[in-house]
Each structure stands twice: as C-alpha cells, then as structure tokens.
Structure 1
C-alpha cells in the first residue's frame, strides 16, 4: 500500500468515527446515555465519552484490542472485523513568544522560541467487539455514574445540576424550571435496559448541549 493510500484510509476511518458520533446524537439517544456509564474496570472505562459512544453505536458494551482480549483469555473469532476509535496525536511545536527582560534596570522586549505541546491530529485504533470473541467469561459489570468531561464545562456554564433517581421506563429527565438533570440510578440500569424504554434523555437532558458538542467534535477531529 502506498503512502497516499495509507493516508486516505486513515482519513476515511477518522471521518467514519466522527460521523458515527454525530449519528448517535441524531438517531440513537439511548446509546448516548449508555456511554455515560462505566463498569468493571474495562479498558473502555479509560476512553473518552465519544469513543465509548462509538463503541455502543457498534452494538457492544465492551470492545478491546486484539492483545487485550488475549490477556483475559478470549480470542477474536476468525473473520471478525474491527471498528475504530480515535486517539489524539500531540506534538511539541516551536512557537515564537515575546518576553520582557530587564537589562541594566531597563525593560526590553525580546522574541523567544519555546516548544509547546499541541494537538495535531487523531489516529485510528482498531478494536473488536465482545460478541466477536470467544473464550473465558468476563466478571460481572458494576456501573458507576460519571458526567462526561466533554459536557461538564457546558453544564456548569448553563447553571445545571445533575442528580440520580430511580426510573422504571426512562433513562432520565430534565426540568426546565429547576434546571436539574435527573439520570437513572446505577442499580436500576439493568431492569430499565430490559424494559420497553422511551428514548428521551438526549433530547430532554442534553438538549442545551448537543449542538455545542457537535461543534466541539468537528473542531477536534478536523484540526486546522
């Protein structure tokens, strides 16, 4: 494969991942909610919210790299296809800055070049679904609630508050009057997932932030 073909394939995988996230906000609000919950020390617990959303959009709650599956006694089935998550690529680049120095009791402006770490691009990482592996069973999952860091700043800016509550048929709700987001308690998650749920949380809970997140995603995946 030529360098040009390799670069084209990389850009295609990054764009596909980006479009998967945007599609989730438009058509799969229940998967946006599932991406909030983490459990059982899986590798995906350390992923960004957007990467976990990509995972759920590929119809799995657990995805890992080829060797990560081997470490827990499972192997990827023959013919299984990977999907891709995104990892940031940062580099130290030279930046010219102006400093004020004191020479013989006089302030003088001088130019100086310093190295600053910047996000320059993203790279795609192949992972495989649990459903496409076989072998040893995995431990039971225990979920913990976490507000994604991508949302926290916007939630604070809008003066919102996040609480947990027990629901029977919903993932959560949003009160316009009190500006309170109420999300499903972790011990109610399993029973709620097995019922005929109403997928309302993204359009009610994250309505104030979903379009901000679209811009955040576009600017981060396609750096200038």
Structure 2
C-alpha cells in the first residue's frame, strides 16, 4: 500500500496535467430478478429520500400495503407523505393514446418501525467477504452501520447522521470511502455548515484512499466531482481548493488508519502542500 504522501503526489500530478487512466464506470447494485421485494424499491429517488430523511426509515408503505404482508400499523402512529403522480390518458392528433403526468398527490405512508405482525422477507445485498472494501472494519469499530441496497442511478451512496449509517448502492470501493469520510468528518464537524467543502473533502479522501490501495480508474470522475463543488471551476482554482482541504483529508485518513487492521505499511501522516 502506498503512503499517503505518495498517493497525494500522484493524484495532484494527474489533476494538474489532466492525465488520467481510462475511466471505469461506477456499478449499481441490482435488485433481485423478478418483482421488487418492497413497494419503496420502485419509488422515485425523491420519495426514497423523503422516506430516509423525513420518515427516518428505510421501509415505508401505505396502510393497505402493510396489511397485505400481514402487518398492522400500531395505534397512535403518524404517517408522512410521499408524492404520487396523477396520470391522464390523452389522444394526440394521430389518435395515438398517450399517458401524461398532470400533477401529483400526497400519499400517506407508515414506517416499518410503526408496524407489528408477520416477519418481513429479509433480503441482503451485502457483498461476499472477499469483495468487501479495504477499511470496512473501520465502520464497525466506529459504530457506523453499513448497508447495501439497490438505489436510483442518481445516488450511489449516502451517509445518514440520523442513525450514523452508510447506505451503498454500489460495490465500488470509492463510494464506500467517500461515505466513510463523511461519517468520520461528522464526528467533529457540522457538515451542514459548508456542504460544498464537505463534499470536496469526502471525494478527495476517497481518491487518496483508492490511490494508496492501487485502485485506479476513478481519478477523472473524482476530479470532476470535486470541480462541481468549487465556486470557481477553473483548473487552477480547483487545485487550490484541493490543497486547502488536505489538512482535513489528513485528519480523516489518520483516523481510518489508526482504527483499521488493514495494511499496516505506509502510515506516514503528512500531507503538507503549499497552494
């Protein structure tokens, strides 16, 4: 495993010269063949985020849907709303029938924690042990829950401070590294105060960890991701922004290395660079 100094040097050189290895597309965890296991698996990413951050759950359904699987909503439970499209069939000038969305309605749903009854079918998308990313042990040691499940292609993963959990819709190691960086950063900083900086720190941390572990093909997308969160997207300004966040990256990687039993070599913690 490369030291952090070596990894950062390699990345900065690539970022400065735009000389990247061939880019590898991120993968998405696919649902099981056949029908979706849960109704929420078919929801839009917007409704899934409402469920996660407003409902505070990863499974919610209507009263009727819960009853259909042998579960009842407990007395006193409060629903929260998701948005369902209102559709209408129209006939165009060529007399071909089309279905169009004419609006949305709020649909009340209840979270699984507010129900009781039959056990739900358990579905695991967790990779095999040999496919687990480096530093997966860090999450367990820091009491960060890690879950894998199919997600919309709009989101490969996310960190939820509500229950200190990481949810991954991709098995690519860089996605786990990114969310792990968020989770560790959140232990000593309020990420909501500067979301753009938090994203730059998380993605740069992920890119450095990939480079340290010889994981290549994500450098170009990491640069473009970081660039999106820089006020000035010019190359020189992006590099300066990257340099300014190296102290945060150093701190996070230091915590990861100290907590992990993975790869004891290359643990020199020094990322001092002048912008």
Alignment TM-score, normalising by the size of structure 1: 0.44
Query: RCO higher in 1 or 2 (8 Å CA, sep ≥ 6)?
Result: 2
